[in-house]
Structure 1
Amino acid sequence: MSRPLIVGFGGTTRPGSSGERMVAAVLSAARALGAETRLFGGADLAALPHFAPENRQRTVEQREFVDAVRAANGLVIGSPGYHGGVSGLVKNAIDLLEDLRDDDRVYFDGLPVGLAVTAAGWQAGGVTLTALRGIVHAMRGWPTPLGIAVNTVAQKPFDAEGHLVDAGILEQVQVQAQQIMLLADL
Structure 2
Amino acid sequence: MVDSPALLPLVVGIGGTIGGVSSTERALAIALDAAGREGFRTRMFGGADMARLPLYDPKATTRTDDERDFVDTVRQASALIIASPGYHGSISGVVKNALDLLEETARDENRPYLADMPVGLIATAYGWQATGSTIAALRSIVHALRGWPTPFAAAVNSQVTKFDDAGGANDPAVVAQLQMVGQQVARFAPLAIPHD
Fold match by TM threshold 0.5? yes
Question: 1:72 and 2:77 equivalent?
Answer: yes
Question: 1:164 and 2:135 equivalent?
Answer: no
TM-score by length of 2: 0.91
Q: Which runs of 5+ in 1 are unaligned?
A: none
Match of 1:134 in 2: 140
The partner residue of 1:95 within 81, 95, 100 is 100
SS in 2 for 1:157: coil
CA distance in 2, matches of 1:157, 1:148: 15
Number of residue pairs matched? 184
Root-mean-square deviation (CA), in Å?
1.1
Larger relative contact order (CA 8 Å, sep ≥ 6)? 2
Amino acid at match of 1:141: G
* Structure 1 ranges of 4+ moved more than 6 A: none
Match of 1:36 in 2: 41
- 8 A contact 2:13–2:80 mirrored in 1: yes
The partner residue of 2:151 within 137, 145, 151 is 145
Matches within 5 A, 1:14-29: 14-29=19-34
TM-score by length of 1: 0.95
Question: 1:122 and 2:128 equivalent?
Answer: yes
The partner residue of 1:179 within 174, 184, 193 is 184
Question: 1:106 and 2:117 equivalent?
Answer: no
SS in 2 for 1:116: strand
1:162 shift after superposition? 5.5
Q: Deviations over 1:25-71 (max 9, x none)?
A: 11111111110001110000000000010113100000000000011
SS in 1 for 2:121: strand
1:4 shift after superposition? 1.5
- 8 A contact 1:121–1:151 mirrored in 2: yes
CA distance in 2, matches of 1:100, 1:5: 17
Match of 2:194 in 1: none
1:128 shift after superposition? 0.6
SS in 2 for 1:76: strand
SS in 2 for 1:127: helix
SS in 2 for 1:98: helix
- 8 A contact 1:114–1:143 mirrored in 2: yes
CA distance in 2, matches of 1:14, 1:149: 22
CA distance in 2, matches of 1:15, 1:82: 17
- 8 A contact 2:15–2:24 mirrored in 1: yes
